[in-house]
Structure 1
Amino acid sequence: MRKLIFAMNVALDGYIAAAGDDIGWSGPPSDELFQWWLDRERANELLLYGRKLWETMSSYWPTGDQQPDATPARIEFARNWRDTPKVVFSSTIDQVDWNARLVTGDAVAEITRLKAGDGGPMAIGGARLAGAAMRAGLIDEYALATYPVLAGGGTPFFGCLRNTAETGRALDHRSLNS
C-alpha cells in the first residue's frame, strides 16, 4: 500500500492561503526551506493535485528552470516536477499536460485505488482535494512548513475539521494519525 502525504506552507493561524487565495504572505522560501521541499518532492512517485493548485504549479514549474533567477535547487525542482507523474482532479477543466492525467469522477475512489496499488509515496495538494482525503481517512502523513505570520483568514490547512464542526459530523480519527 502506498503512503499519502499532505504537505503545504502554513501560516501560524493554520491557513494555507489568505482571503482571495493570496499566498503572498509566504514570500519566496529561504534556500534551506526550498531544499526541504525539493527533498520531499524527490521522494514522491506520484503527485495528486486539485484544480487550483494544479493551475498554480503548471503556470510556473514547466519552465521554472529557464527563469533568469533560477538557482540550482529551483532548476532541479522544475525538472523533478516535469518528470514526476501527476493526477489532476477537476470537473471544470478538460485537459492537462506535463506528465499528468485528468480525473473528473469520484476523487476519493480514485485516491483509494491509487493507495492500494504498488509504488512509492504520493503527495496530495489542494485544500478541497486534501479535505476529501482527510474525511475518508486516506492521509497517512502531514507535513507543515509553518511561517511566522498570521494570514487572518482564508483557506485552512485542516479545512475538513472546520467543516465537520459546522455540520456536526465527526472526523474519523484515523485521518489524524501520522
Structure 2
Amino acid sequence: MRKLTFAMNVSLDGYVAAPGGDLGWSVPSDELFQFWSDRVGATGLALYGRKLWETMSSHWPTADRQPGATPAEVEYAQRWRSMPKVVFSSTTSAVDWNTRLTTGDAISEINRLKAEEGGPMDIGGATLAATAMRAGLIDEYVLATVPVLVGGGTPFFTTLDNWVNLNLVETRTFPGGVLLTRYETKR
C-alpha cells in the first residue's frame, strides 16, 4: 500500500495561508526550497485540491522559462511537470502537465490510489487534506514551521472526531528558524 503524506509550510500558529490566502510569510530559504524540490522528485503521485492546483499550475509549468529563473527553480519546474498528479475538483474542467482530473468521491478515489502499486503520494491543499485527515487516510505529516504568527487564515489541521496519535520520526532546522517536523500516524 502506498504511503500518503500531507506536507506544507505552516505558521507557528498553525496556518498554511494567512487571511486572504496570503503566502508572503512562507517564502522558503534556498535550503528549504531544495528540500521541497527533492520531495517533488521523489513523489510517485501528488494529489491536489482545486485551490492549490490553481496556484501551482499558474506558475510552475513555465517557471523554468522565465527571465532570471534560478537553477533551483528550473529543477523544481521540471520535476513538477514530470510528477504524476491528480486534481480533485467539481468545478475545474481541464488539467494539463501530467495531470488527471477526478470529480467523484475523494475518499473512495484516495483509497483506490493508496491500494495501487507505486511510489509515495503527497496530498496538498488544506480542504482536500482535511477530508483525507478526517477519514484517517494520512500516514505521515510533514510541517515546515515558520516562526511567524499570522493570526488566522487557512489551518493546517482540521477539526477531528477522534484523536490521531503520532510518532515523531524526524526534526530538522532550516535557515530563518524554520523547524521541520515529520510524524508518522500510529496504526
Verify same fold: TM over 0.5. Answer: yes
Unaligned runs of 5+ in 1: none
Higher helix proportion: 1
Q: 1:35 maps to what in 2?
A: 34
Question: Are positions 1:91 and 2:83 aligned together?
Answer: no
How far 1:85 moved relative to its partner?
0.9
Q: 1:170 maps to what in 2?
A: 162
Deviations 1:123-151 (A, max 9, x none): 10000100010111111111111111111
How far 1:94 moved relative to its partner?
1.1
RMSD: 1.6
How far 1:170 moved relative to its partner?
2.8
Name the structure, 1 or 2, with higher relative contact order (CA <8 Å, separation 6+).
Answer: 1
Amino acid at match of 2:139: D
Partner SS state of residue 98, structure 1: coil
Q: 1:15 maps to what in 2?
A: 15
Q: 1:3 maps to what in 2?
A: 3
Q: 2:127 maps to what in 1?
A: 128
Once residues 74 and 184 of structure 2 are traced to their aligned partners in structure 1, the CA distance between those partners, rounded to angstroms, is: 34
Amino acid at match of 1:139: I
Deviations 1:44-71 (A, max 9, x none): 0111000000000000000011122211
Deviations 1:48-105 (A, max 9, x none): 0000000000000000111222111111110010011110000111111111110001
Question: Are positions 1:142 and 2:141 aligned together?
Answer: yes
Once residues 73 and 25 of structure 1 are traced to their aligned partners in structure 2, the CA distance between those partners, rounded to angstroms, is: 20
Would you identify which runs of 4 or more consecutive aligned residues in structure 1 move more than 2 Å?
169-176
Once residues 29 and 73 of structure 2 are traced to their aligned partners in structure 1, the CA distance between those partners, rounded to angstroms, is: 12
Once residues 176 and 153 of structure 1 are traced to their aligned partners in structure 2, the CA distance between those partners, rounded to angstroms, is: 26
Counterpart contact for 1:45–1:121, Cα < 8 Å: yes
Q: 2:44 maps to what in 1?
A: 45
Amino acid at match of 1:13: D
How many corresponding residue pairs? Answer: 170
Q: What TM-score comes out, normalization by structure 2 length?
A: 0.86
Higher strand proportion: 2
